[in-house]
Amino acid sequence: MNYDFTIVVPVYNEEDNLLRVETELLAYTKKALKKTKILFVNDGSKDKSQELIELIAHRNPEFSFISFEENRGLSAAIKAGFDYTETPLVGYIDSDLQTAPEDFNLLLQHIGNHELVTGVRANRKDSFVKNMSSTIANGIRRSFTHDGMDDTGCPLKVIKTDYAKRIPMFKGLHRFLPAMILLQNGKIKQIPVQHFPRVAGEAKFGVWNRLLGPLMDCFAYLWMKKKYISYTVAKQG
């Protein structure tokens, strides 16, 4: 089948959420603005996630998967998803489904004139500590990148695949995707999306890696920005 849009779903020990992911993403494919497929990236899960992923992919042609030999982190899972995407558009959503697949349609409405469209979580349903640490981290990151984005940690994004594949990923760079599109002279936009509390499984990030991690990554981003190679071909013969 000719698909236009691939949704990457990073997975790490999410066995309690995967059947709900199957139900909600399958329902989304029936009303998606683009012909949509789903790619699970199993980041070395130690529970029954891989077993469930294979079951879901076996009974639904819209689903496929890749599985890491060992846990490599969220940025690696997202990069692998980009690497294995063959459609013109790629997006991703967390397997905890704290954002709604249906909101991809809000982002897809704007992707024609932009290279990346990201959600910004309205009325976040997280704890006070989690919300505050994310707000501080976003402020720190914004002061380094000047990308104008309020919520780069929002796990709901759509990107033109050729731009996504050119991002030189490193650990933590999933927080800098809009900034990396700007380095390619692409256009970015943020759209308010729904947010829900986690109903199953455990959060993989705490206060420590929401604050210290992003601060350290900001310096890595500045180094990359200084060394980043970007060019435009004016004529070819």
Rounded to whole angstroms, the Cα distance separating 72 from 203 reads 16
- With a threshold of 0.85, does the pTM exceed it? no
State the residue for tokens 């500590």.
Answer: 129
Q: Does domain 5-227 have CATH number 2.60.120.10?
A: no
Query: What is the pLDDT, as a whole number, of residue 210?
Result: 57
For residue 3, the model assigns a pLDDT of 97
Q: Could you state, in chain order, the average pLDDT of each consecutive group of 10 residues for the chain (237 residues)?
A: 94 95 97 98 96 98 97 93 97 94 97 95 63 64 71 89 89 83 92 81 56 72 78 85
Domain boundaries, the chain: 5-227
